[in-house]
Amino acid sequence: MKNSAARYSNEAILSTELLRQLAYNEKMAELGKISAGVVHELNAPLSVIISASQMIMRESGVPEAVQEMIARISSEAQRLSQLTKGLLNFSSHDETIGEVDLNLTVDFILNFLNFEAARRGVIVRKQFDHTLPVIRLDANMLKQILLNIVMNALQAMENGGGKLLVETVPAGCDHVCFIIADTGPGISPESIKRIFDRYYTTKKPGEGTGLGLFVTKNLVESMGGEITVKSRNGGGTTFTVTLPVSN
């Protein structure tokens, strides 16, 4: 009797866990679908803007000031077009290991979250090491890791006026590293022991599943890397991720 009660409660826990994991996967898949839809909607008008601005630039007798404005319109539209292409990759579910430029990927995620930072009044500073070697990994996994850490930092600075510093640095001859430092409220010593635990969240129900850092740590470790965190209550938080150049 005792045994069957214990089995029943274990099964209940397992199915709750499964449901939560499914809810998180659903959230990520939904995000992918939304971005694929947005990309689709954005691509057509962007190509019109790019080709129309190039046609105007080829016209003779266009005043220099207008030429300059059109050139800006064209280059901004091309930048957006690059961004949307990256989004399409992001929403794809293919697992592909290839050569990845860490600086470009960090830059892509920061551009992707530009609006989220701006709406919270967060100033973002990037400091890239341009001597970094390319790394061999799944770019989508790297994007997921960056997205989770940066989004947490932005959410921690919800009240505005925060700063975010994102740095890339070499780590020895066979590792690279990125550091994400925020000036948010920091994490208490009791919380910091639990932030990588499955379902640990301090956010209101519906705002956080507590799976972000759990998934992040698993992804980093599956790539043979390491993630560490330093924080002081009231003193900001710094996450450091070290990844092997090839694994």
Ligand X SMILES: Nc1ncnc2c1ncn2[C@@H]1O[C@H](COP(=O)(O)OP(=O)(O)OP(=O)(O)O)[C@@H](O)[C@H]1O
- Token pair 């030429």 is found at 67
| 166-205 footprint of Mg ion as x/- string (CB under 5 A) | ----------------------------------------
Please list the alpha-helical segments (H only) found in 113-211: 114-119, 139-156, 189-192
Q: Is the CB of 212 or the CB of 225 nearer to Mg ion?
A: 212
5 phi, psi to nearest 5 deg: -65, -40
Under the criterion CB under 6 A, does residue 81 sit at the interface with ligand X? no
Query: Is the Cβ of residue 86 or residue 212 nearer to ligand X in the bound state?
Result: 212
182, interface contact from Mg ion, ligand X, none, CB < 5-8 Å by kind: ligand X
157-186: which residues touch ligand X (CB under 6 A)? Answer: 182, 184
Reading the block at residue 69, the tokens are 């404005």
| Smallest separation (angstroms) from ligand X to the CB of 202 | 3
Report the residue from 152, 216, 231, 238 that binds Mg ion according to the rule CB under 5 A.
Answer: 152
The three-state secondary structure class of 96 is coil
Element of type H or E holding 227: strand 226-231
Which of Mg ion, ligand X, none lies near 140, with the C-beta cut-off 5 to 8 A by kind? none
* Sequence-ordered alpha helix ranges (H) in 113-162: 114-119, 139-156
Q: Applying CB under 6 A, does 128 fall inside the site for ligand X?
A: no
Q: What residue spans of the chain are helical by DSSP H?
A: 2-58, 64-91, 102-112, 114-119, 139-156, 189-192, 212-222
218 in contact with ligand X (CB under 6 A): no
Smallest distance from the beta carbon of 146 to ligand X, in angstroms? 13
**Which entry of ligand X, Mg ion, none binds 90, CB below 5 to 8 A by partner kind?**
none
Asked if residue 202 binds ligand X (CB under 6 A), the reply is yes
Region 41-70 residues binding ligand X, contact defined as CB under 6 A = none
Do 125 and 165 form a contact (C-beta atoms < 8 A)?
yes
> Pairing between strand 123-127 and 163-171?
parallel
Residue in 152, 183, 240, 242 binding ligand X, rule: CB under 6 A: 152
Among positions 184, 185, 186, 212, the unique one binding Mg ion when judged by CB under 5 A? 212
CA distance 113 to 92: 19
Q: How far apart (Å, rounded) are the C-alpha atoms in residues 221 and 215?
A: 10
Task: Please tell me whether residue 212 binds ligand X under the rule CB under 6 A.
Answer: yes
Least CB distance from residue 239 to ligand X, whole Å? 7
Q: What is the end-to-end Cα distance of the chain in Å, rounded?
A: 50
**Using an 8 Å Cβ cutoff, are 90 and 143 in contact?**
yes
Question: By CB under 6 A, is residue 146 in contact with ligand X?
Answer: no
User: Which residues contact Mg ion by CB under 5 A?
Assistant: 152, 212
User: Which residues contact ligand X by CB under 6 A?
Assistant: 148, 152-153, 156, 182, 184, 187, 191, 195, 200-203, 208-214, 237
